Structure 1
Amino acid sequence: MGPGEVAAILFGTFAVLVFLRVPVAFALGLAVVPVFFIEERLTPVLLMREMFKSYNAFVLLAVPFFLLAANLMNSSGITDRLIRVARAMVGHLPGGLGHVNVVVSMLFAGISGSSTADAAGIGSLLIPQMKKEGYDSSFTVAITACSSVMGVIIPPSILMVVWGGLMSVSIGGLFLAGVIPGILIAGSQMLTVYVYAKRRGYPVHDRSTLRELVRAVAGAFLALMTPLIIVGGIVWGFFTPTEASVIAVFYSLILGLFVYRSVTLPELPKVLYDSARFAAITLFCIGTASAFGWCLAYFKIPAALVGMIEQMGLGVFGTGIMAAAAFLLFGMFIDAIPAIIIVGTVLFPVTQHVGMHPIHFAIIGVVSLAFGLVTPPYGLCLLIAASIGRIRLIDALRDVAIILLPMVVVLMIVIALPDLILALPRWVMPKFIQ
């Protein structure tokens, strides 16, 4: 069988299974079974072998630990402290709570690395408050879901850890490269909130005094130190990303149990259980996606794609557009980590061929996949926010689309200006980032 035939079988079977509502993790594994039976040189046992090989990666230990750290942060009341800081900073702007929503998501992203934890933790606190103050339910759910995507863009990011481990890209460099896109996305969302507030007459709060701001920052100071400890430790070589995730867990535990005293020992088993459950789902997806990706590589589908791109004559910008479109499409249907394993590993040789920097390609992929967290049918963050807001998902789609429009502009900036994205990594890590 040629690369085209295998690709048609793999993606065709996967599409049919997803349409039949087979869970994505199982659909990815089942999609490779027909190929293993058709090709004489392969056996179904290889499916299990490739899955177990993918789990034998030290860097993947960071996934459950970062998820646990995020859940501990939510349980320890750190989200409340971050909201007070955000309110003191931007609460006086038109549509104050909308701006608070964006800024607190930005701050929480620098602590958790998880968008779902962001949507659940911040949404449970801010969505009822915003609705009580007269914000439309659809807008409240939409801005909560869209702002939570910064969790996978602003460092530390679980997606960047997985990407760096899979494709041997500097995780410290990826973390630094995510800072500017994260700030641009936050700015685009705050601009959208401002326009909404002016058009719909959303409430404005009194400006906080300098003393109130200092008091709020002091109350959340230890929590705000988390990104500095994690990202700084990785960038400056004090510990690996996996070690950083363990440090994040211990730091969150110490804050919750002994400093803020907002977490009790009887509550810990539930936090551990929830973290283990989400980590198990994610890691099972990684296993089946790795088997799917191995099958693509075995039949030289990436090499065939490189040949097609070469004939099309696409440069860095054109390849970036193509990559973003692929990630946007896949992100609508499957979780981001399996999408990285499948789409990222297939397109990586293509981007190398046209001379795209590996970190630039990674940031395009991560930002594009972030859209999938709020776009149906997958749209996990949107599902969480709609559930908290007690509205139908379809009722929030119009406002989600409006908020995403300026974010698409940010994505185009990321694609068109690689030097802007790479400026911070090159400045901080000149020996490692060329």
Structure 2
Amino acid sequence: MIITTGVACAILVGGFLALILIRVPVAFALGIAIIPIVVLDIRLTPFIILDRMFQSYNSFILLAVPFFLLAANLMNSGKITDKLIALARVMTGWMPGGLGHVNVAVSMLFAGISGSSTADAAGCGKILIPAMVKEGYDTRFAVALTACSSVMGVIIPPSILMVVWGGVMQVSVGALFLAGAVPGFLIGFALMATVYVYAKIYDYPIVARPTFSDFWTAFKGAFLAILTPILVIGGIVGGLVTPTESAIIAAGYALVLGVFVYRTVTFRDLGGIFYDTGRFASISLFAIGTASAFGWMLSFYNAPRLIVEFMTTMQFGGFGTAIMIACLFLFFGLFIDAIPTIIILGSVLLPVATAAEIHPVVFAIIGIVSLAFGLVTPPYGLCLLISAAIGRVNVVKVMPDVLIILTPMLLILLLIILFPQIALWLPTTLMPDTFR
């Protein structure tokens, strides 16, 4: 039999949501939801689906994903996070709510190294959440702030999500890295403003007023680590290396720092680090394969075309369409990991954004920022779950603080939609050839 578009979409989406509700992992749910369609429609065979999966893996740029993960794991295992915290402490600890500002600042620094929000939440949270509680901060606030600040890991470059987006949507990864910088720092400053208000209301303490000597010592300790984003982004923007090569450089540089410079990683530790990296990378890449097959299936039944026609009929305009795109990414981010969402929803909405004359880079930043917020919103909320587990507190009790802290971050997303030049300024300035 030949299945119609409506029936196919109902089976695919309905089956996927049903599997998610019974807690089947997302990567497997995407693959299993395809099976009934393949069995029922005589035009499809299992070999077509397998071919789509393998084609998604045949991408040089996606090799950057495991190497950025390796760099993050080496940084965490090499105690380099401690050096970043020491630098953040002397930079921001003198303000009211000192450790809260340190939390945000170290997330911004670590984001420029790891490209992973979960690595940020785990690495920084293990140190800062207990330290904040010890200094008299409410545990719920410490957990909520750590979770929310960690989302900058996929917004401030380098970013694993930007690598995946660039590979799937054929957008310059270097341009995406530059486009994420200003929005990422704006989100960081919004978080610091929120911490300041909390500190004034709850009388949170100042850590210390550092001397120039303290600052110089901390800067020297962290200098080699904060060179990482300069090497990665500078190499890509300068046209010296590809994103994949820059990820390899980042991993190699982190390895040299941990083993030979700081000597905090032993050769015995490397086996466990490589194993963890391979395990997490395989999960991400398997999700890319099944999501690509799922997305191809939607395209096969013309779902993207129907969505474009619907959005065009509604006549939302550029601003309205951008708001709808952000809302859809925010909604899907509640339930699904960011990488499958990029492949499925991003591919479906790309024609919609093009029809509304939204720049591909702006579309990418709206999607990535929206999905980043999904990392702190249940039921998925992976960064929130990690932070809550470290703080040994129930996620439900943390949610009021999460919503308060998330509100100014959502306002930054609205600003990006209203003023696209926030995202486009750096790439148009430093990579003008990309935009000709």
TM-score by length of 1: 0.98
The equivalent residue for 2:212 is 210
Indicate which of 35, 38, 46 corresponds to 2:37. 35
Contact 2:148 2:376 in 1 (8 A): yes
Moved more, 297-306 or 108-117: 297-306
The equivalent residue for 1:24 is 26
Contact 1:3 1:304 in 2 (8 A): no
The equivalent residue for 1:236 is 238
Does 2:12 correspond to 1:10?
A: yes
Matched AA of 1:368: S
Helix, strand or coil at the partner of 1:330: helix
1:5-404 correspondence runs (5 A): 5-404=7-406
Q: Give the whole-Å Cα distance in 1 for the aligned partners of 2:55 and 2:288.
A: 11
Q: Give the whole-Å Cα distance in 1 for the aligned partners of 2:151 and 2:6.
A: 34
The equivalent residue for 1:424 is 426
Q: Give the whole-Å Cα distance in 2 for the aligned partners of 1:398 and 1:354.
A: 36
Matched AA of 1:57: S
The equivalent residue for 2:413 is 411
Q: Give the whole-Å Cα distance in 2 for the aligned partners of 1:129 and 1:187.
A: 22
Q: Give the whole-Å Cα distance in 1 for the aligned partners of 2:16 and 2:432.
A: 42
Matched AA of 1:70: A
Contact 1:373 1:381 in 2 (8 A): yes
**Residue deviations 1:391-429 (CA, integer Å, cap 9, x gap):** 111111111111001111011011111122101110111
Matched AA of 1:284: F
Q: Give the whole-Å Cα distance in 2 for the aligned partners of 1:68 and 1:112.
A: 9
Helix, strand or coil at the partner of 1:255: helix
Q: Give the whole-Å Cα distance in 2 for the aligned partners of 1:357 and 1:212.
A: 45
Deviation at 1:8, TM superposition (A): 1.8
Q: Give the whole-Å Cα distance in 2 for the aligned partners of 1:222 and 1:206.
A: 25
Deviation at 1:93, TM superposition (A): 0.7
**Residue deviations 1:219-260 (CA, integer Å, cap 9, x gap):** 111111000000010111110001111111110000001111
Q: Give the whole-Å Cα distance in 2 for the aligned partners of 1:189 and 1:33.
A: 44
Q: Give the whole-Å Cα distance in 2 for the aligned partners of 1:130 and 1:432.
A: 44
Helix, strand or coil at the partner of 1:34: helix
Deviation at 1:176, TM superposition (A): 0.4
Unpaired segments ≥5 residues, structure 1? none
Matched AA of 1:158: I
Deviation at 1:292, TM superposition (A): 0.3
Moved more, 104-113 or 44-53: 44-53
Q: Give the whole-Å Cα distance in 2 for the aligned partners of 1:155 and 1:420.
A: 15
Q: CA RMSD in A?
A: 1.0
% identical aligned pairs: 60
Moved more, 203-212 or 354-363: 203-212
Deviation at 1:308, TM superposition (A): 1.0
Contact 2:183 2:422 in 1 (8 A): no
Q: Runs in 1 of length 4+ with deviation above 6 angstroms?
A: none
Deviation at 1:10, TM superposition (A): 1.1
- Count of matched residue positions in the alignment of Structure 1 and Structure 2: 434
Deviation at 1:46, TM superposition (A): 2.3
Q: Give the whole-Å Cα distance in 1 for the aligned partners of 2:85 and 2:97.
A: 15
Contact 1:18 1:27 in 2 (8 A): yes
Contact 2:174 2:237 in 1 (8 A): yes
Matched AA of 1:213: F
TM-score by length of 2: 0.98
Q: Give the whole-Å Cα distance in 1 for the aligned partners of 2:252 and 2:422.
A: 35
Deviation at 1:4, TM superposition (A): 3.0
Q: Give the whole-Å Cα distance in 2 for the aligned partners of 1:333 and 1:297.
A: 22
Contact 1:29 1:47 in 2 (8 A): no
Moved more, 17-26 or 154-163: 17-26
Unpaired segments ≥5 residues, structure 2? none
Helix, strand or coil at the partner of 2:376: coil
